Structure 1
Amino acid sequence: MDGKFQTSFIPKKPVVSAARARGPGMSLFMVVSIFIFVVSLALAGLVFAGQKYLGAQLEKDKESFAEMQDDFDALTVETFVKLDKRIESAKKILGKHIAVLPIFDFLESKTLKNVRLKTVDVSFLENGSASLDIKGEAKNFSAVALQSDVFAESKELKNPIISDIDLTLTGGISFNFKSEVDPSLVLYKNARKIGNNIDNAEVNAEMNNVNIDNMEIN
């Protein structure tokens, strides 16, 4: 008889695998969907907040612009009013300003071509007019007489008088001329409004031959 002892093991319960099946869990698709949803909500919130901020800033800018426009309009109107007053004041000053240039323009247009003015003394008077004291020389007595008529017919001259007519050593005729000038002639605004319409054909309006050797202004 064999002396070995053999045993056998028969399990009473079935063997269960150690690796148990996993229970139901969150899928990857659901995780991604939730993430996208959260990001979308965050972006929507940012957009809404940005719109609210931009709207408030726009209203603020509109109010600031309106205030600046009101200030600018008031300043512009005030500036133009001051400028207009200054222009009007300047016009009045120039309108009353006395100038000697119109007198010489007048003499140039009224002096005959064969008459020479040697000295011209201009004195301004308190009433706004001026007085003339002129020493001249003419070619002959006829020229002196014609010059006297031209001056007498000029409305710009008051009480024109030619005196001290004398014969010069060179054969010419010397004379003195005195007159008061109308105040409108010496105004600066009339400096270039002197007309040279002379009725006598012997008067040279361009005065190329008139010489004024000495001019004195008081």
Structure 2
Amino acid sequence: MPSVTPQPPKTTFIPKKTLTKRDKSKSLRYSGWVTVFSVFLLVFSVAGYSALLLYKVYLEQRSEDLAVSLERAKGAFDPTIIEELKRVDMRLSSADQVLSKHVTITPLFVLFENETLQRIRYTQMSFIAKDDGAYQITMDGEADDYATIALQSDIFSDSRNVRDHIFSNLNLNSKGNISFKFSAFVEPGFLRYIAQLANNTQ
């Protein structure tokens, strides 16, 4: 009986077709993701650079606009004009101070005309400014009788602009009337010119 020699198994180093297709598919998928990511990164970088470039242009334009505005402001506020305005302001302030202290006796005449009884007549008047800012008025006059002087005193007592009034030296004169001397203090604010000006404009 003849002997049978076993044959060694055949060995090949050629990859199988299925393995080759699988590896190639994986490689293509990986390469595709890398390409997409690279394109996205490129687009993002270009967009960011463009935004920065536009912002730089905006800042440069803004800087130029501010420089122009500053030059216009310097022209509008010329130093010579500013100094002139300061001088005018000082003059106005001085005028305000003068007006605030200026006194007019016109309101005093109006006061006595409105609050003096017809049976009383004034013949002489003097007006003196006191150190405390008040003003003293002194007058000579005559009345028809003593009762008229008493009534006139009551009227002045109710006046808010006349204070500390006194009727003195009451005497019967040759005409049958009662002569007297009158003195009183007038509130400073009542005679201020600026106060009268404000009242006239209301």
Identical-residue share of aligned pairs (%): 29
Residue number in structure 1 paired with 2:181 = 176
Tell me the TM-score normalized by structure 1. Answer: 0.51
Stretches of structure 2 that go unaligned for 5 or more consecutive residues are: 1-70
| TM alignment of 1:1-218, pairs within 5 A | 70=75, 73-191=78-196
CA distance in 1, matches of 2:185, 2:118: 23
CA distance in 2, matches of 1:170, 1:83: 61
- The structure showing larger relative contact order (alpha-carbon pairs under 8 Å, at least 6 residues apart) is 1
The superposition leaves residues 1-58 of structure 1 with CA deviations (integer Å, 9 ceiling, x where unpaired) of xxxxxxxxxxxxxxxxxxxxxxxxxxxxxxxxxxxxxxxxxxxxxxxxxxxxxxxxxx
Amino acid at match of 1:135: D
Stretches of structure 1 that go unaligned for 5 or more consecutive residues are: 1-65, 196-218
Residue 71 of structure 1 deviates from its aligned partner by 7.1
Residue 89 of structure 1 deviates from its aligned partner by 2.0
Residue 133 of structure 1 deviates from its aligned partner by 1.5
Amino acid at match of 1:187: R
Q: Report if aligned partners of 1:131, 1:180 keep a CA contact under 8 Å in 2.
A: yes
Q: Report if aligned partners of 1:105, 1:194 keep a CA contact under 8 Å in 2.
A: no
Change (3 A) 1:70 1:194: closer
Q: Report if aligned partners of 1:102, 1:190 keep a CA contact under 8 Å in 2.
A: no
The superposition leaves residues 89-138 of structure 1 with CA deviations (integer Å, 9 ceiling, x where unpaired) of 21121101233333333222322222111111111111221112111112
Change (3 A) 1:193 1:136: farther
Change (3 A) 1:120 1:191: farther
SS across alignment from 1:154: coil
Change (3 A) 1:173 1:118: same
Runs of 4 or more above 6 Å deviation = none
Q: Report if aligned partners of 1:95, 1:187 keep a CA contact under 8 Å in 2.
A: yes
Hey, which of these two has a bigger chunk of helix by percent?
A: 2
Aligned length: 131
Amino acid at match of 1:131: Q
Change (3 A) 1:90 1:133: same
